[in-house]
Structure 1
Amino acid sequence: MTSIDLAERAGQTPGAARRPGFTEPNETTLAWLLVLPSLLIILGIKLYPLAYSLWLSGFKVSVLSPVARYVGTDNYVALLTNPNFQASLGRTLYFTVASLVIQMVLGISIALVLNTPFRGRTFVRALVLLPWAVPTVVNAVLWQWIYHPQFGALNGLLNLVGLIDQNVQWLGSPYLAMNMVILADTWKTLPLYVIMFLAALQTVPDELHQAAAVDGAGFWKRFVHVTLPFLKPTMVVVLVLRTMETFRVFDIIFLMTAGGPAGSTTVIGYYAYLEAFRNLNFGAGAAAANIIVFSVALISLAYLRLLRTRAFD
């Protein structure tokens, strides 16, 4: 019996018969071949720069001394013992904690309001999401004009209602600048909290609220004992994702204040930029950037640990 007859009996065309010496790849090999292009892209734009940054942080490299000189962990020690870097770390922690607390409270509050039936709720929900679509550059320029000491809308409004009698330098005061940046960042990122918590509120059964109301529970008790347990998994996800974003904040600081006034808004991300691209101390700049990476990695590990606990199953 010929190979053509065998192929016809197997339901194959003669051309589909395997060639001598040809073996089809198994599923594992085929899967690796399919994801190989993506892995190469990730290696090129993610892993290689990270590895190069780790290597660079162990050397003394600058424009004045372009020849790399190995210094081990000296760059990290110098940073961690530098008062300016310690101050930037404190500002970063303040920006992170203040942003998370304000945005978490406002996000849950607005989501509760938008979860209540009222006329025009769909339009209001769409309106709340608009700031999320605004690019960071546009957001920074917008709030710079709002805070403008002479022509800004904020001073004009406060003067109109009589809360101030002279214009305030919102971004010119070391005590106000960071808080004003937090306010601008909150306006843009608040829709993320709202949409996440609003989605979580859809999972709360109405029967539980009705039963709690029959038992005489007020709004606060119903929120704590009925609504909040359903929000906890979402709170963990949003908390950790936003913690990673706020801890490595750079763009809005760079655009609005450039680390000023008097360094009052110089966070770790901007400090790393100054070391690498202003002071041209590439080794120290890489070390500062790696400290951010290590910190974000620890937050990610904490995130995974929290998700595995039974409290959030």
Structure 2
Amino acid sequence: MVTVASAKKKADPLPPVKRRRGSERQGRLAFWLLLPAAVTVFGVIIYPMFRTLLVSLFQVDSALATDTPFVGLDNYLRMLASPAFWASLGRTLYFTLVSTAIELVLGLAVAGLLNAKLKARWLFRTIVVIPWAIPTIVNAAMWKGIYNAQYGALNALLQQWGIITDYKVWLGDPTLALNMVIVADVWKTVPLVAFFLLAGLTSIPTELYEAAKLDRARWPRIFRSIVLPMLVPSISIVLVLRTVEAFKVFDIIYAMTRGGPVNGTTTVTYYAYQTAFSDQNFGVGSALSYIIVVIILALSAIYLRMLRKSEMSLL
């Protein structure tokens, strides 16, 4: 008869000392494997965050400044009282709302086309992803050439179609320049949105479409009653990601317009860059950076709350 002790001994052939040594070796191995990543995260993210927070509490007017008096929250109050800050914030909100809305509508249309049963559908999906694969700086340089007032392709095309008679300076007007930057950003980002929504479309059960066909429901009703409710989680994720990315837009602004003309494309992140590095006012620039972080956290919290509500409504 097999006793309980002998059964445990057979089930656990290694003695406790060897098991403990093996777990210690695994723990040390895990520590050394994770150490480079931890050092990188600390050096690239955590330390700069705390350093920026510390600098935002002092008056630092130069990279070589030795006299940096403590000013507390004065840098934050100075930014909140600045008309230039509120103007840049307004342009940023306009950029975020318009670009995100257009990307969502176009992305949904492209996702519907990619989800259709077409020949060589894999080829269309490959072609669509190309704009997203292009680096942002390359994308900005390409569109800057398209908008060029002397040899740009946009002017030549519109003149051939008879829409305009003279070449137009697309990046010469503050309002028009901001909208042209939005077009360039939308062209690059629509594929990402489309593939997010495509994942949601492919997860919709085909039985729902078949039941709708039996009820002789037309496509507008199918879209409103089946497709849109089932895409709410995917749309919410897209809204969170694109709102955060669009709000902190910098690279395409820097490459295309450098904030001009007449600060017409100066978004809040580019304004923080100008304040800190062009004006050498690192204290105020650091405070502005943390104001941006607070705004992004607030927007993310709102969207995440909406996402939770949408998920609860589908359960």
CA distance in 2, matches of 1:96, 1:234: 19
Instruction: Name the structure 2 match of 1:5.
Output: none
TM-score if structure 1 supplies the norm length? Answer: 0.89
Instruction: Name the structure 1 match of 2:8.
Output: none
What are the equivalent positions in structure 2 for 1:83-232 lying under 5 Å apart?
83-232=83-232
CA distance in 2, matches of 1:312, 1:210: 20
SS of residue in 2 equivalent to 1:207: helix
Q: Do the aligned partners of 2:197 and 2:234 also contact (CA within 8 Å) in 1?
A: yes
The C-alpha deviation readout for 1:228-259, integer Å capped at 9, x for no partner, is: 11111111111101111111110000000000
CA distance in 2, matches of 1:293, 1:39: 23
Instruction: For structure 1, list consecutive stretches of 5 or more residues without a partner in the other structure.
Output: 1-9
CA distance in 1, matches of 2:165, 2:134: 32
State the 1:120 CA deviation. Answer: 3.0
Residue range with higher mean Cα deviation, 261-270 or 109-118? 109-118
State the 1:34 CA deviation. Answer: 5.2
Q: Identity of paired residues, percent? A: 45
Instruction: Name the structure 2 match of 1:278.
Output: 278
SS of residue in 1 equivalent to 2:174: coil
CA distance in 2, matches of 1:11, 1:46: 46
Q: Do the aligned partners of 1:306 and 1:312 also contact (CA within 8 Å) in 2?
A: no
CA distance in 1, matches of 2:111, 2:123: 14
CA distance in 2, matches of 1:220, 1:26: 62
CA distance in 1, matches of 2:260, 2:42: 36
Q: Do the aligned partners of 1:233 and 1:312 also contact (CA within 8 Å) in 2?
A: no
What are the equivalent positions in structure 2 for 1:54-69 lying under 5 Å apart?
54-63=53-62, 66-69=66-69
Instruction: Name the structure 2 match of 1:6.
Output: none
| Residue identity matched to 2:194 | V
CA distance in 2, matches of 1:103, 1:24: 50
Aligned-pair Cα RMSD in Å: 2.5
Instruction: Name the structure 1 match of 2:313.
Output: 311
Residue range with higher mean Cα deviation, 108-117 or 90-99? 108-117
CA distance in 2, matches of 1:67, 1:159: 59
SS of residue in 2 equivalent to 1:266: coil
Instruction: For structure 2, list consecutive stretches of 5 or more residues without a partner in the other structure.
Output: 1-11
Is 1:252 aligned with 2:264? no
State the 1:24 CA deviation. Answer: 5.3
Q: Say how many residue pairs are matched.
A: 300
CA distance in 2, matches of 1:23, 1:249: 49
Instruction: Name the structure 1 match of 2:49.
Output: 50
Instruction: Name the structure 2 match of 1:4.
Output: none
